[in-house]
């Protein structure tokens, strides 16, 4: 198993640049291709405002402004892509059959970001998304959730600052669910190359299903030696305890299932997935 293609929904903010650096470093590790995808806003999306009492001239003016803003943002993102690619020494262009080495390409499309990103992610081994910035509500990260719920493939949430390395020391958040099993399977290419692997489990986190020692036995069949460690919630927050345990291990990658409970329940009441998305300072590989 290997990673040969990464998808990166690319925005023009600082989190987007850190995600690009992270994706390029992963590509160099795996000799993979990065498709940086920038989705432009469709100016025609303002047309429904015609029913809100706005005149045709006003709507046309709004469409023109939207198109100009979208073009300016696309140019800014492309400039950032070119600058970062040059600094990291990655070849620009589509990979050729039989050739190895990290490559990257840039594409701009117009439409609904969550739809287009989810579709493209179905033919990517891994999608790297920017970390939700502090000013953003994680519930509005539609591209991230579209990949999780509508691509069938894993997603890696890049930290706000690109890490020095990824995948040497890996933590697996295990609770016996189908989602956590999916995350383990997605992490297998990383696990077989890791220097150290630790399974993190807690009574408050465990659901009906195999326990952490069962996972360790399964991984041993793949020649992955994984130790089992328990953690405790912090102020009743399982996610906080999980991140603390990963930090104490010196993990540079955390793999976990996403939304064992419904997304609506997590948005209303909070949950482990939401806490990790908001507070993780290391790369997080999620699947469901």
Together in a domain, 217 and 123: no
pLDDT at position 26 is 96
Is residue 67 in a domain? no
Point out the domain boundary residue: 124, 157, 190. 157
Let me know if residue 58 belongs to a domain. no
- How many residues does this entry show for the chain? 288
The reply to whether 118 falls in a domain is yes
Residue 13 tokens read as 């903010």
User: What is the span of the domain harbouring residue 178?
Assistant: 169-287
My answer on whether 245 and 198 are in the same domain is yes
Question: Can you list the pairs that 130-133 forms with residues at least 24 positions away whose Cβ atoms lie under 8 Å?
Answer: 130/9, 130/11, 130/13, 130/15, 130/16, 130/18, 130/19, 130/157, 130/158, 131/15, 131/18, 131/19, 131/157, 131/158, 131/159, 131/160, 131/280, 132/15, 132/277, 132/278, 133/13, 133/14, 133/15, 133/160
* Positions of the chain with pLDDT under 70: 1, 43-56, 58-59, 63, 66, 133-140, 260-270
Q: Which helix (H) or strand (E) holds 82?
A: helix 56-88
pLDDT for the residue numbered 124: 96
Distance between CA atoms of residues 155 and 157, nearest Å? 6
CA pair distance 234, 175, nearest whole angstrom: 17
User: Is position 163 within any domain?
Assistant: no
Q: Please tell me the predicted confidence (pLDDT) of residue 52.
A: 58
Domain check: are 83 and 130 in the same one?
A: yes
Instruction: Report the CATH number at residue 187.
Output: 3.40.50.620
| CA 275/CA 237 separation, integer angstroms | 8
116, 179: one domain: no
CA 232 to chain centre: 26
Same domain, 39 and 150: yes
Structural domain includes residue 49: no
- Round to whole Å and give the CA distance between 205 and 227: 18
- 217 & 246 share domain: yes
**pLDDT (0 to 100) of residue 265:** 44
Residue 138 tokens, joined: 């994680």
If 0-12 CB within 10 Å is exposed, 13-18 middle and 19+ buried, where does residue 189 land? middle
Asked if residue 61 is part of any domain, the answer here is no
Q: Are the CB atoms for 20 and 80 separated by under 8 Å? A: yes
pLDDT score recorded for residue 45: 64
Is 214 inside any structural domain?
yes
pLDDT at residue 13, rounded to an integer = 75
| Closest-CA residue to 16 (of 153, 151, 113, 110) | 113
Q: Are residues 197 and 144 in the same domain?
A: no
Same domain? For 26 and 144 the reply is yes
- In this structure, is residue 55 part of a structural domain? no
Q: What is the 3-state secondary structure (H, E, C) of 109-126?
A: EECCHHHHHHHHHCCCCE
11 in the same domain as 40: yes
Taking phi over 0 as left and psi of -120 to 50 as alpha, with beta for the rest, 236 belongs to left
- 113 and 243 inside one domain: no
Tell me, what's the pLDDT at 138?
Answer: 53
H/E stretch holding 256: strand 253-257
Number of compact structural domains in the chain = 2
CA angle 83-17-9, nearest 5°?
Answer: 110
Burial bucket for residue 24 (CB in 10 Å: 0-12, 13-18, 19+): buried
Same-domain status, 146 and 231: no
Q: Distance (Å, rounded) from C-alpha 241 to C-alpha 253?
A: 16
101 and 205 in a single domain? The answer is no
Among 106, 130, 157, where does a domain finish?
A: 157
Listed residues 89, 122, 157: the one ending a domain: 157
């Amino acid at each position: 198993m290997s990673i040969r293609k990464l998808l990166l929904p690319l925005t023009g903010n600082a989190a987007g640049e850190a995600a690009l650096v992270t994706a390029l470093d992963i590509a160099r590790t795996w000799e993979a291709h990065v498709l940086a995808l920038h989705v432009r806003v469709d100016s025609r999306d303002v047309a429904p405002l015609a029913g809100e009492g706005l005149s045709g001239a006003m709507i046309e003016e709004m469409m023109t402004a939207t198109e100009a803003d979208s073009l300016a943002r696309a140019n800014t993102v492309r400039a950032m892509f070119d600058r970062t690619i040059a600094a990291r020494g990655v070849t620009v262009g589509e990979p050729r059959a039989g050739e190895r080495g990290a490559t990257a390409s840039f594409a701009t499309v117009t439409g609904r970001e969550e739809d287009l990103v989810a579709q493209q992610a179905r033919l990517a081994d891994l999608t790297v998304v920017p970390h939700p910035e502090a000013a953003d509500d994680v519930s509005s990260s539609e591209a991230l959730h579209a990949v999780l719920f509508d691509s069938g493939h894993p997603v890696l949430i890049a930290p706000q600052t690109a890490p020095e390395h990824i995948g040497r020391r890996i933590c697996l958040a295990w609770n016996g669910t189908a989602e956590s099993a999916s995350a383990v399977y997605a992490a297998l290419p990383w696990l077989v190359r890791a220097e150290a692997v630790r399974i993190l489990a807690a009574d408050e986190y465990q659901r009906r299903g195999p326990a952490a020692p069962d996972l360790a036995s399964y991984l041993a069949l793949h020649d992955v030696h994984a130790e089992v460690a328990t953690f405790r919630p912090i102020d009743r927050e399982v996610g906080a305890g999980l991140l603390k345990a990963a930090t104490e291990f010196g993990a540079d990658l955390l793999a976990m299932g996403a939304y064992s409970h419904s997304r609506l329940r997590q948005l209303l009441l909070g949950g482990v997935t939401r806490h990790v998305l908001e507070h993780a300072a290391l790369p997080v590989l999620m699947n469901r």
